Structure 1
Amino acid sequence: MFRSIIRPRVSETDGAGHINNTTVPVWFEAGREGIFKIFNPNLSFTAWRSVIVSLSVDYIHQMYLGKDVEVRTWIQRIGNKSFVIYEEIHQGGILCAKGTATYVNFNPEKQISEPIPESIRNELEKHLFEST
């Protein structure tokens, strides 16, 4: 699992006084940096191979300005060419949002998805989500 701490900003708070729903996918993406580095250690866009093809978010509890949030990121499933990420956001010990994102291993030169290399697969497996 990867853990990231984010301090909510005023600009992420909406008129209702809570963190805006459009902020959650951005925070989830921030929590994926460790996974991106497995595919591309220096995060060079010229070598970028992880392309998102699906995103799902469940909003469970409101979040507010003034308290840090923790993004928790796991690998839920690894396929031949794709993998699914499972993510959660917690604030004050409360699960506030959860979601999944599906990515493919993409070759930008050929514009096709390709099998995930075994070395990358082995690293992804170290972060598999185990449901209780």
Structure 2
Amino acid sequence: MYKILLPILSFCLVSVGCTPSGPPLGKVSGKVTIDGKPASNVDVMFAPVDGGRSSTGTTDSNGQYVLAFSTTDRGALLGAHEVVIRNATPTDMNDPDAPMVSTGMVSNEVATIKKKVEVQSGDNTIDLSYP
């Protein structure tokens, strides 16, 4: 009896454990600079050129960002993307402790710039420099 159950159980565990949970993603991080200075509190958005879900991240005080594809998955879809940045906004407008945005570093001119980048499998460091 065990000789029959063991292969079946092994197959079930392997097939469940090895099934990808979503589309293939490349991990993406980098630094955003504007006029040579780290851009803090800036939203970064990677939009796939061929369509699909965008990935976003927000820079820290050193201009560093890490992209999230969903609440559980980090990274971006593989392939070509158009990247835009904008001043970050508080995540909860009703929360008095939410980070407030000052005048912001991203001018209207910079916010209209679309950069083309390629996300590959594995780790991607994509630094973004504006004008």
Which bracket does the TM-score occupy, shorter chain normalised?
A: under 0.3
Structure having the higher Rg: 2
Q: TM-score, normalised by structure 1?
A: 0.26
Q: TM-score, normalised by structure 2?
A: 0.26
